[in-house]
């Protein structure tokens, strides 16, 4: 009944309403900065390839959102990019996230916040939407002073078989 654009707009409206009175937690703000990333990723043919990326993370929209922009080269080919927004839902006491990927994919997800300080690890669960349909995706992020480690996994068979989608180390 509603197309992808309407669902994304609805999510934006709902999530924006949740974030109006709550600033981002300190452990989320600690992620800000400019990063250079190296690692590996699945390409469009589901083959494991080398990846390099540039990641910028900043507080946005009066301090209620974290905005991330990533541009990557996978297997020697440029073109992978995303914009990601994260906010804090005070009612659920969870982080909420939406990600828009070049090519028309989008992800909606959530995670519990982690205690502030070194070694903060956050595990995200998403519902991913792309040309293959809708499927679960997970991100795992560990934050240090100058280093961020992240890896993700997907299950295009609705959670029966998980496949590593990427891994990367990002330095400030």
Read off the pLDDT band of 19 (50, 70, 90). Answer: very low
Read off the pLDDT band of 36 (50, 70, 90). Answer: very high
Q: Once rounded to an integer, what is the mean pLDDT over residues 151-168?
A: 93
Q: Has residue 128 got a pLDDT over 90?
A: yes
The owner of tokens 């994260």 is: 86
Q: Has residue 27 got a pLDDT over 80?
A: no
Burial class (CB in 10 A: 0-12, 13-18, 19+), 119: exposed
| Structure tokens that stand for 126 in this block | 């998403």
Asked if 1 and 87 touch (Cβ cutoff 8 Å), the reply is no
Read off the pLDDT band of 12 (50, 70, 90). Answer: very low
**C-alpha to C-alpha distance for 56 and 50, rounded to whole angstroms:** 20
Residue 109, pLDDT score: 96
Residue 60, SS3 per DSSP:
strand
Domains of the chain, with CATH numbers?
A: 4-171 (2.40.128.20)
Strands 33-42 and 163-171: antiparallel
Q: Has residue 39 got a pLDDT over 50?
A: yes
Q: Once rounded to an integer, what is the mean pLDDT over residues 46-74?
A: 94
Look over the chain and give the mean of its residue pLDDT values, rounded to a whole number.
Answer: 85
Chain-centre distance for alpha carbon 145? 19
User: How far lies 86's CA from each of 13, 97, 100, in Å?
Assistant: 14, 4, 12
**pTM, full prediction:** 0.81
């Amino acid at each position: 009944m509603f197309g992808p654009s309407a669902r994304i707009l609805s999510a934006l409206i709902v999530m924006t309403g949740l974030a109006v009175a709550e600033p981002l937690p300190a452990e989320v703000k600690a992620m800000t900065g400019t990063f250079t990333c190296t690692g590996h990723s699945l390409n469009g043919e589901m083959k494991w390839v080398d990846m390099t990326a540039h990641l910028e993370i900043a507080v946005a929209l009066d301090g209620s959102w974290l905005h991330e922009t990533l541009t990557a080269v996978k297997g020697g080919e440029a073109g992978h990019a995303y914009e990601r927004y994260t906010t804090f839902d005070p009612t659920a006491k969870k982080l909420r996230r939406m990600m828009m990927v070049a090519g028309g994919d989008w992800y909606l997800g959530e995670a519990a916040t982690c205690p502030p300080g070194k070694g903060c690890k956050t595990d995200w669960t998403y519902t991913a939407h792309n040309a293959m349909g809708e499927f679960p995706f997970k991100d795992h992020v560990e934050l240090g002073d100058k280093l961020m480690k992240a890896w993700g996994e997907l299950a295009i068979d609705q959670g029966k078989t998980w496949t590593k989608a990427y891994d990367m180390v990002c330095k400030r």
